[in-house]
């Protein structure tokens, strides 16, 4: 919404599920009875919270205690359905129980800058596999590309997407050593190993290569390179193991989550100068690169514009023609979505909005690399890109 918005009455009766309001808003009476699941009031001048009691579906709430009228604590304690009760600019994941513990200790006092700084510890964490994750806040954004964008393809139609809830995204693709730890612990055999082959880059094209797999992708890799020759189903097996090991909910990102995380607030084809942020442009040397070596985006995510293609959870299909909330793609299909470009792609094929897809059977045999919390892929330079969700 525009920062100039003051009157919310035009929103009355709308079936909105997420709203992030600007500083000019001081009253939320017009939101009464809406099916809102997520409400961000941190930047506003709202002082009276009585109206939040009329929001039956509210699960995620972000407030700034400094503007609230006396008695606001009693109102919020009545919201028994809340899953996140936050108080910082990033809408970081703070459970109601932890919120009240911090409040009772006097640790939720100060101006917005102070509270945002104190919440930074919740933005990043490492799991037991030393995979780093970054909090990605909820928001509404424009997915796709404008007609004027160079390299735009027909299936990149612009449309607004609302992501109701934030999530944690791995800051780099899943590395060889991460996948090796999974294989050693579980005894898992990838589909390429079971079938006895994978697609690899040979001369100027891709071809079936007998014996190729994540262990032998046809070029040298260190443990810090993204794992490749991993199928969509292999990525799912890795995620299931990680879920069990970590007792957290890991999964692949949806296509809309992937693009939102890649853009990190940008509206241009790339989140930064492409030569600074991506491995791309085949130069005759067939190889991936160690993860995290190029410039990260504004949310500290690396290699989003290159190094390896990345699997999403979606089946491929046409974009919706209107505003959508938490889209997850078609219920079925023939093709799996991959995103991000890779080391052999030209720059135009590494754009934030660029969509690519592979047949489900190919997604089983081709190479891919992964991210945690969401996964990425590679041996066609496809890989798993992991995501962890709260």
State pLDDT tens for residues 93-124. Answer: 899 999 999 999 999 999 999 999 999 988 99
CATH of the domain at 81: 3.80.10.10
pLDDT at 276 over 80: yes
Residues 100 and 212 in one domain: no
Residues 225 and 106 in one domain: no
pLDDT computed for residue 8 by the predictor: 55
Residue 363 falls inside a structural domain: yes
Residue 78 falls inside a structural domain: yes
pLDDT computed for residue 238 by the predictor: 92
**How far apart are the C-alpha atoms of 363 and 270, rounded to whole Å?**
26
Rounded to whole angstroms, what are the CA distances from 369 to 8, 177, 214, 306?
45, 12, 9, 12
CB atoms within 10 A of CB 66: 14
pLDDT tens, residue by residue, 56-99: 999 999 999 999 999 999 999 999 999 999 999 999 989 999 99
Q: Read off the pTM.
A: 0.88
pLDDT > 70: what percent of the chain? 87
pLDDT at 390 over 80: no
Chain center to CA of 64? 26
What residues contact residue 6 under an 8 Å CB cut-off, 6+ apart? 24, 25, 26
Listed residues 94, 122, 150: the one ending a domain: 122
pLDDT computed for residue 20 by the predictor: 85
**How far apart are the C-alpha atoms of 332 and 316, rounded to whole Å?**
9
The answer to whether 169 and 371 have CB atoms below 8 angstroms apart is yes
Per the structure, how many domains does the chain have?
A: 2
Largest distance between two CA atoms of the chain: 71
Residue 141 falls inside a structural domain: no
Residue 42 falls inside a structural domain: yes
pLDDT computed for residue 361 by the predictor: 53
Dihedral sign for Cα atoms in the order 176, 178, 183, 188: negative
List the helix and strand counts (H, then E) for the chain.
9, 19
Residue 200 falls inside a structural domain: yes
Residue 131 falls inside a structural domain: no
Which of 19-28, 192-201, 252-261, 280-289 is the most confident on average? 252-261
pLDDT > 90: what percent of the chain? 59
Residue 169 falls inside a structural domain: no
DSSP line for 140-203: EEEES--TTSTT--TT---EEEEE-S-EEEESSPBBHHHHHHHHHHH----HHHHHTEEEEEET
Residues 118 and 181 in one domain: no
Residues 184 and 248 in one domain: yes
pLDDT computed for residue 381 by the predictor: 37
Residues 105 and 222 in one domain: no
Which residues form the domain of 344? 176-389
pLDDT computed for residue 375 by the predictor: 43
Rounded to whole angstroms, what are the CA distances from 361 to 130, 171, 198?
32, 29, 12
Residues 22 and 101 in one domain: yes
pLDDT at 386 over 70: no
Listed residues 91, 122, 153: the one ending a domain: 122
CATH of the domain at 241: 3.90.1580.10
Residues 111 and 186 in one domain: no
Residue 136 falls inside a structural domain: no
pLDDT band at 21; cut points 50, 70, 90: confident
Chain center to CA of 164? 12
Residues 108 and 216 in one domain: no
Q: What are phi and psi of 275, to 5 degrees?
A: -70, -20
Nearest by Cα to 285 from 219, 199, 381, 369:
219
The answer to whether 238 and 179 have CB atoms below 8 angstroms apart is yes
Average pLDDT, the chain: 86
Residues 106 and 245 in one domain: no
Residues 90 and 180 in one domain: no
pLDDT computed for residue 73 by the predictor: 95
Q: Which residue has the tokens 């489900």?
A: 360
pLDDT band at 257; cut points 50, 70, 90: very high
pLDDT computed for residue 10 by the predictor: 55
Dihedral sign for Cα atoms in the order 93, 98, 100, 105: negative
Residues 348 and 242 in one domain: yes
Residues 180 and 118 in one domain: no
CB atoms within 10 A of CB 129: 16
């Amino acid at each position: 919404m525009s920062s100039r918005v003051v009157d919310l009455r035009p929103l009355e009766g709308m079936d909105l599920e997420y709203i992030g309001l600007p500083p000019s808003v001081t009253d939320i009476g017009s939101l009464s009875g809406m099916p809102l699941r997520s409400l961000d009031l941190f930047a506003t001048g709202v002082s009276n919270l009585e109206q939040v009691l009329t929001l039956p579906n509210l699960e995620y709430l972000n407030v700034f205690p400094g503007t609230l009228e006396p008695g606001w604590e009693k109102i919020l304690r009545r919201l028994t359905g809340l899953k996140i009760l936050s108080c910082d600019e990033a809408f970081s994941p703070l459970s109601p129980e932890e919120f009240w513990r911090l409040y009772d200790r006097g640790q939720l006092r100060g101006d917005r800058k102070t509270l945002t700084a104190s919440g930074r510890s919740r933005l990043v964490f490492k799991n037991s596999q030393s995979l780093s994750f970054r909090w990605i806040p909820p928001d509404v954004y424009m997915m796709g590309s404008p007609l004027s964008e160079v390299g735009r393809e027909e299936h990149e139609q612009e449309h607004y997407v609302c992501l109701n809830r934030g999530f944690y995204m791995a800051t780099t693709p899943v590395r060889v050593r991460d996948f090796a730890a999974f294989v050693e612990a579980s005894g898992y055999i990838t589909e390429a190993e079971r079938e006895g082959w994978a697609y690899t880059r040979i001369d100027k094209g891709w071809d079936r290569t007998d014996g190729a797999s994540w262990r032998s992708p046809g070029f040298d890799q260190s443990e810090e390179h993204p794992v490749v020759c991993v199928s969509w189903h292999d990525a799912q097996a890795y995620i299931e193991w990680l879920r069990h090991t970590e007792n957290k909910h890991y999964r692949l990102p949806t296509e809309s989550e992937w693009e939102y995380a890649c853009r990190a607030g940008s509206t241009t084809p790339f989140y930064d100068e492409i030569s600074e942020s991506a491995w791309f442009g085949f130069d005759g040397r067939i190889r991936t690169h160690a993860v995290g070596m190029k410039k990260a985006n504004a949310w500290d995510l690396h290699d989003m514009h290159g190094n390896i293609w990345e699997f999403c959870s979606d089946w491929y299909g046409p974009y919706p023609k209107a505003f959508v909330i938490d889209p997850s793609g078609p219920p079925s299909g023939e093709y799996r979505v991959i995103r991000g470009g890779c080391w052999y792609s030209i720059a135009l094929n590494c754009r934030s909005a660029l969509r690519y897809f592979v047949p489900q059977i190919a997604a089983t045999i081709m190479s891919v690399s992964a991210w945690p919390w969401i996964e990425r892929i590679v041996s066609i330079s496809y890989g798993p890109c992991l995501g962890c969700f709260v």
